[in-house]
Amino acid sequence: MRILVALYRFSVATMISQPVSIVRSVILIVIVASGTAACSSSQLAPQQSKSPSGYVVKPSSRPVIGERAAAVALQQVGVPYRYGGSTPSGFDCSGLVHYSYTSAGKSVPRTTTALWAELAPIQNHDMRVGDLLFFKISGKMSHVGMYLGNGRFVHAPSSGKTVSVESLGSDYYREAFVRAGRPQ
């Protein structure tokens, strides 16, 4: 029950500071509240509900910053890609990461290159919810997403698409994946 109260307080604070995403916040509260009893892992778990992403973050009793950032990023599923975008009206990949971490209370660099340079690599088996995943697209490291657990990540893919949840196990992303890093 304390988890639900903490999630409610966090979601209300998010709704107040981000009025554009009120509907997504309310949906997330309902999804998290309905899935809290059923999910026994601190990772993400598929839900039976009709949420935009189908995944929720079940935070620990004291959610770490990465879990809070992942919850914010999941609220943005469906928002259109916009080059240079870093608001709920449109995101590019690093803009989504920057917005999510800033909303969760942690300052991180704004660009994929700056994120790559600042974060020390972590081993794949050590990845946690909220870790950043770097991808090589068209021969160069140029894309970042946020790990959700269970081999899934959220990202703003490219022009004409929307913020979405993908699998690291897909052929495309498995081959493009370079490394993970964790904001400290």
> What per-residue confidence (pLDDT) applies to 38?
29
- Fill in the amino acid letter for 31: I
Indicate which residue of 39, 93, 98, 125 is catalytic: 93
Residue 137 CA: distances (Å) to CA of 43, 92, 143: 27, 14, 7
Domains contained in the chain, number: 1
Query: 34 pLDDT band (50/70/90 cuts)?
Result: very low
Look up 39 and say whether it is catalytic: no
Phi, psi at 106, each rounded to 5°: -130, 130
Instruction: Assign residue 158 the CATH number of its domain.
Output: 3.90.1720.10
Summarize pLDDT for 90-131 with one digit per residue, the tens: 999 999 999 999 999 999 999 999 999 999 999 999 999 999
Indicate which residue of 39, 98, 125, 155 is catalytic: 155
Look up 143 and say whether it is catalytic: yes
- Neighbouring residues of 124: CB distance < 8 A, sequence distance ≥ 6: 180
Phi, psi at 162, each rounded to 5°: -125, 165
Under DSSP, the state recorded for 178 is: E
3-state secondary structure of 177: strand
Indicate which residue of 39, 98, 125, 143 is catalytic: 143
Instruction: List the beta bridge partners of residue 80.
Output: 162
Range of the domain at 37: 2-181
Look up 93 and say whether it is catalytic: yes
Rounded Cα distance between 174 and 121, Å, is: 17
